[in-house]
Amino acid sequence: MNPLTSFDARTGASHGEALTPSTAADIDTAVQVAHATAPAWGSSDGAQRAALLDGLAAALETDREALVALADRETALGTGRLNGELDRTAFQLRRFADIARRGVPFEVLDDPAVPGAPPVGHPAMVLQRVPLGPVAMFAASNFPFAFSVLGGDTASALAAGCPVVVKAHPGHPHLSQRVFGLVQRVLAEQGLPAGLVGLVQGAGVEVGVSLIRHPLIAAGAFTGSTRGGAALQAEANARPRPIPFYGELGSINPVLALPAALAAKGGELATTLAASIAMGCGQFCTNPGLIVLVDGADSERFVAALTEALKAQQPHAMLTAGMRQAFASGVDRWRMLGASTLVQQPDNGSAPGPQLLQVPAPRFLAEPALQDEVFGPASLIVRAVSTAEVLQVLAAVAGSLTVTVWGADTDTADNRALVRGAMAIAGRVLFAGVPTGVAVIAAQHHGGPWPASTAPMTTSVGDAALDRFLRPVCLQDAPAWLVARGGQPC
């Protein structure tokens, strides 16, 4: 295999020492040692899991200056954004530490025996959960801390009692190595086996495919493109023993800007939306890639204001040259399919200019390729003539992480229909603000119907992310010593 090279995201120049991609033997070793840690870690108590997660959060914060500098070089996301993301990552680790400490992974449902014959009578049953086993975690490109080596997937899997083998993202290989070094140091300090968290790396598809195919891997967690996630899900399903695969994939995150909202504060909303489109160079899974308007004077004024506001945005460089090319190709595809250009700002060196295009709803509905995600600082306006046409647009999207509905503040038949339509395709429906920014809280749901995710009943952000890595087991007429463990696996 070719060496794994780190590139400066702003200049495209290689830097640092080239890394050696993981071989089949390396992957097998990482999974084997993770599997060997599974029984002990799966039976650990909440205090031990919390201590590890707290220790990992502290290690990130202690090494903040070096980590942020390295991340900025490999991603061009800027030190302000990256410091905030490191804070979020430490917060996630500590939140799952608290979840483990409070005993959430060990919660039980006790159904005492009832004398007599069925259906009223039944034996004593206790429902608890057990860890799945080693998790293959695929790091994302656009969040080098929060969805990477020590991101939310790793934090929730460890809190659930599962070892983790991380497939590092090739877009930030040196950062991944440095964070992994911190992990190994904390594991050693706490007397835990090094194999509890493993790392494999490589720029090609072979490493990820080999990892998800390994017979000792019990689940997969992925954040990335629809194409990549679909391929890995197919591999997970094609195994002799298929495993759950939790993929967060593509999403165009429609924003329904209804006339009532635009009449009240269209200018303010245009400014807010323009900043959201360009935020992080548009490299967010919640980037507002689709804006649905109902034709009228308020919508015309809003489009004019949004056009001017977006022209003033100055995105930074994209994460990789490949993403930059894919972004340009995606916008060109919109134009070739009949979308007209409202904003086409020139590139600023390695940074793409923001783009805004528009298309009538019938054209959007007739061309499925217009419904695909374009990852970057661009958005497509769809012009509808009625609520019915807006609902057709939503149905064509099929699945999204978010839908934003501005202006549904009164209880009307149309607003009820629009809310139903939004809830039918999204994991999170917003009625104020913009979709960029995902709070790590108990009520969060970061998922949605395909193609937003492979498992719409689960979330990759928030407290319920833990549930992906725990499997229910019913204990019938269990011995007293087992019941006394209070849901902690033995």
Catalytic residue numbers read: 248, 285
State the Rg of the chain over Cα.
24
CB 305 within 8 A of CB 363: no
| Residue partners of 436: CB distance under 8 A and separation at least 6 | 276, 279, 280, 284, 286, 287, 288
Tokens 């039980």 -> residue:
108
CB 257 within 8 A of CB 265: no
Residues composing the chain? 490
| H or E stretch covering 135 | strand 135-138
Alpha-carbon distance 456 to 451, whole Å? Answer: 10
Break the chain down into helix, strand, coil percent, rounded to 5.
Answer: 45, 20, 35
- DSSP letter assigned to residue 20: P
- DSSP letter assigned to residue 423: H
Cis peptide before 377 (omega within 30 of 0): no
Strand partners, 359: 382
Alpha-carbon distance 394 to 292, whole Å? Answer: 9
Instruction: Give the three-class secondary structure for 163.
Output: coil
Alpha-carbon distance 303 to 301, whole Å? Answer: 6
